[in-house]
Amino acid sequence: MVTQYIYGVPVETFAAVKEVEHGKELPYFSWEKDMTFTCPLGKEDIVYGLGETMRGINKRGARYISFNYDDSRHRDDMPSMYGSHNFIVVDGEKTFGAFFDTPAKVVFDIDSAGDGLLSVACESSDLRLYIVEGGSAYSVVKEFLGIIGRSFLPPLWAFGYGQSRWGYKTARDISRVAAKHREAGIPLDYICLDIDYMDRYIDFTVHKRRFPKMAAYVKMMLEQGLHLVPIVDAGIKVEPGNAVYEEGVEKGCFCKNQDGRDFQAEVWPGMTHFPDFMRETVRAWFGSQYRFYTELGLEGFWNDMNEPAIFSTESRKKNAPPDAERGDPDQPGRHIADYKDFFHRLDDGRRISNYKVHNVYGAMMTKASGEGLEKLLDKRYLLFSRSSYIGAHRYGGIWTGDNESSWRMLRQNVYHMPSLNMCGFLYSGADTGGFGGNTSRELLLRWLAFSVFTPLMRNHSAIGTRKQECYRFRGTEDFQSIISLRYRLLPYLYSEYMKAALRQDMLIRPLAFDYPDDEKARRIEDQLMVGEGIMIAPILEKGVNGRIVYLPEPMTEVRYSGGSFTCMDVGAGERTAMAPLNTVVFYIRRGKLVPVGKAVSNTAEMDLLDVELLGSGTSYEQYVDDGSTKECSLDRCVVRRP
Ligand code: GLC
């Protein structure tokens, strides 16, 4: 059961899609007039949720600040990330969920002082608060997912392996990356085009010399089974002659500064204007610009810099030190004041600073692009964004931004996945191998072995760091083997993703959700459930060749190496699972089946129905379609038996 409580006049965030009953008296929380909601926690209560925030799956013991931020120096104690996902689930003495639906800053203090207090301080007094009740933490989440609507449904090729790097400059660079993967026998479905494909980083342009004859190039790559996925940044370059800029100015599509002029902020292309995505007409206008790309034959996009990221403004110099007034003491280094300097006009006529609606800016960009692409294409598209808010999950996925090549960030990737799923974001993943810093062969192999199970599986890294395409390392066959496992598991992973999305369920869950009465399983954070049948226990440490795995019930242990599966039934309890670098070990639950397909070099070659079934179950309900139809429904499931 979901009940909503309205304070003030909330700004439309488009987070919920279902009518929800209004409650009279707010349960669980005491409410202070300064919009701080407090709730005592039981000693053993676990608090789930908060999507993209740092730290573990149990959010207890720290403070988290919802105020979208593009800090690329990811640390465990970072209070804010690129997205704000204000949904928490308290699981223990009382079990309930709470969604603080407000586009302004929210501070979640989840017992950081150890005094057993959960406090949620909302900066705005205009707020919609949803309370979700009924049964276990997992059923509370499912109830919530029902309210926020069905997840984005990407095409099958978006579940293939993707290669990306900031620094691919020309069509020749891209072709070389494709050829090298082919030579090494590494399957590949798409290559991302970072900002260098554009003419001076201007959105909706292609650099003529670097990518001559783009449409023909896109077509040629598609014939090889490869999609190209260009980046699109939020800011539109201020430059006479830039048609999108001129049209945007003329139609009044941009955010304004204090005195009513179009606000200017420096990002990659120099000075830009930010589209005022808060208005429907502006979203429709921006979404229609993607025609530029779809006419080139492109069907996948990553939206970036949409927190929005700002290097400098007319009134603040680049790299200006954040001073006491301008910086936020909670987050030194930020220029919070920039966001007080520009304004949106809402559809209800209100003029409001970005500071007050900051957390939905990126989500509104995703909504704009998703709705545009929906009109422009007669098939499903790939879209993932850096910034997000709950609701954007209906239009696209997200990636978790500029992480670094470290074991800590691999572990964080594991924690992020179930938390994001709780907030609706099923299609997500991290920069596999790490974005900043230099990766190592061992880290990349272990990271790939985990990414096999995340819907977005993309190797991406920053310019200036060690190049990390798999073919650059010794023993390429180990990389080939792990990536081929992804493809062999796709009949299962794709089917489980589509079923979870269509049923408004989670794909990746903490063990606690499937084994709520198992005290040990409830505290485990480095093992996850993937779909109905698989449990994974990724290796997250350097220099080890195995790990201890906890099995809440007897399962089938599956080892994949050298292109083949070896299955063994194992009992419940702790066991040591050895996994050399070229081996991936995972588990199939008792009574479940997992369909595995043939090795292929991309999804275009794949036959989802040509599978063998692993595990001890008697039947498997497999979702199957052509991978791109817009008409997706559970009617497309077929029953497979051994
Ligand atoms: C941002 C993105 C990163 C991208 C870079 C250049 O840092 O998060 O993925 O490579 O910009 O466009």
List pLDDT tens digits, range 64-113. Answer: 999 999 988 888 888 999 999 999 999 999 999 999 999 999 999 999 99
**The ligand 1 atom nearest the CA atom of 231:** 12
Give kind and range of the element (H or E) at residue 283: helix 280-288
DSSP-derived pairing of the beta strands 96-101 and 127-133? antiparallel
**The ligand 1 atom nearest the CA atom of 233:** 12
Terminal-residue alpha carbon distance, the chain: 39
Structure token digits, residue 558 = 């599956």
C-beta of residue 102 within 8 angstroms of C-beta of residue 14 = no
Taking the C-alpha atoms of residue 72 and residue 264, their distance in angstroms, rounded to an integer, is: 23
Name residue, tokens 């279902």.
18
Would you state the pLDDT for residue 317?
Answer: 81
Give kind and range of the element (H or E) at residue 587: strand 584-589
E-strand stretches of 424-517: 428-429, 431-432, 457-459, 508-510
**The ligand 1 atom nearest the CA atom of 165:** 10
Please compute the mean of the pLDDT values over residues 585-600 and round it to a whole number: 98
Nearest to 57 by CA among 509, 505, 456, 431: 509
Peptide bond into 418 cis (omega under 30): no
Q: Over the chain, what is the mean pLDDT?
A: 96
Q: Nearest 10 degrees: CA dihedral of 14, 530, 613, 627?
A: 30
Name residue, tokens 């940044």.
233
- The total of other beta-carbon atoms located within 10 Å of residue 626's CB is 10
Is 357 a residue whose pLDDT tops 70?
yes
Would you state the pLDDT for residue 233?
Answer: 98
Amino acid occupying residue 23: G
Best mutation site among 82, 232, 304 for ligand 1 pocket (most ligand atoms within 8 Å of CB)? 304
SS3 category, 4: strand
List pLDDT tens digits, range 12-28. Answer: 999 999 999 999 999 99
Nearest to 38 by CA among 128, 132, 107: 107
Query: To the nearest whole percent, how much of the chain has pLDDT over 90?
Result: 95
**The ligand 1 atom nearest the CA atom of 431:** 9
Taking the C-alpha atoms of residue 64 and residue 340, their distance in angstroms, rounded to an integer, is: 21
Q: 230 CB contacts (<8 Å, ≥6 apart)? A: 192, 193, 197, 198, 293, 298, 301, 302
Quote the ligand 1 centre to 68 CA distance (angstroms). Answer: 16
Best mutation site among 69, 70, 402 for ligand 1 pocket (most ligand atoms within 8 Å of CB)? 402
DSSP-derived pairing of the beta strands 96-101 and 87-91? antiparallel
Maximum Cα interatomic distance, the chain, rounded to a whole number of Å: 70
Quote the ligand 1 centre to 464 CA distance (angstroms). Answer: 12
Give kind and range of the element (H or E) at residue 229: strand 227-233
How does 153-171 read in b/e, with b if 16+ C-beta sit within 10 Å? bbbbbbbbbbbbbbebeeb
C-beta of residue 40 within 8 angstroms of C-beta of residue 24 = no
Name residue, tokens 């707020």.
127
Taking the C-alpha atoms of residue 535 and residue 313, their distance in angstroms, rounded to an integer, is: 48
Give kind and range of the element (H or E) at residue 270: strand 270-273
HSE-up of residue 160 (Cα within 13 Å, Cβ side): 28
Considering the entire predicted model, what is its pTM? 0.98
List pLDDT tens digits, range 392-448. Answer: 999 999 999 999 999 999 999 999 999 999 999 999 999 999 999 999 999 999 999
Taking the C-alpha atoms of residue 264 and residue 601, their distance in angstroms, rounded to an integer, is: 46
Nearest to 186 by CA among 406, 475, 464, 584: 475
Taking the C-alpha atoms of residue 278 and residue 361, their distance in angstroms, rounded to an integer, is: 7
- Give, in order, the Cα–Cα distances in Å from 89 to each of 51, 74, 119, 456: 11, 25, 13, 25
Structure token digits, residue 81 = 């990330």
Taking the C-alpha atoms of residue 507 and residue 509, their distance in angstroms, rounded to an integer, is: 6
Q: Of all protein residues, whose CA lies closest to atom 12 belonging to ligand 1?
A: 195
Structure token digits, residue 107 = 């501070």
List pLDDT tens digits, range 228-257. Answer: 999 999 999 999 999 999 999 999 999 999
296 secondary structure, DSSP code: T
Taking the C-alpha atoms of residue 362 and residue 234, their distance in angstroms, rounded to an integer, is: 8
Asked if residue 304 has its Cβ within 6 Å of ligand 1, the reply is yes
Q: Confidence class of residue 334 from pLDDT cuts 50, 70 and 90?
A: confident
Would you state the pLDDT for residue 326?
Answer: 57
- The total of other beta-carbon atoms located within 10 Å of residue 345's CB is 16
Would you state the pLDDT for residue 152?
Answer: 98
HSE-up of residue 425 (Cα within 13 Å, Cβ side): 36
Taking the C-alpha atoms of residue 469 and residue 460, their distance in angstroms, rounded to an integer, is: 9
Quote the ligand 1 centre to 305 CA distance (angstroms). Answer: 8
Asked if residue 386 has its Cβ within 6 Å of ligand 1, the reply is yes
Asked if residue 71 has its Cβ within 6 Å of ligand 1, the reply is no
Give kind and range of the element (H or E) at residue 117: strand 117-122
List pLDDT tens digits, range 313-331. Answer: 998 887 776 655 556 667 7
List pLDDT tens digits, range 109-133. Answer: 999 999 999 999 999 999 999 999 9
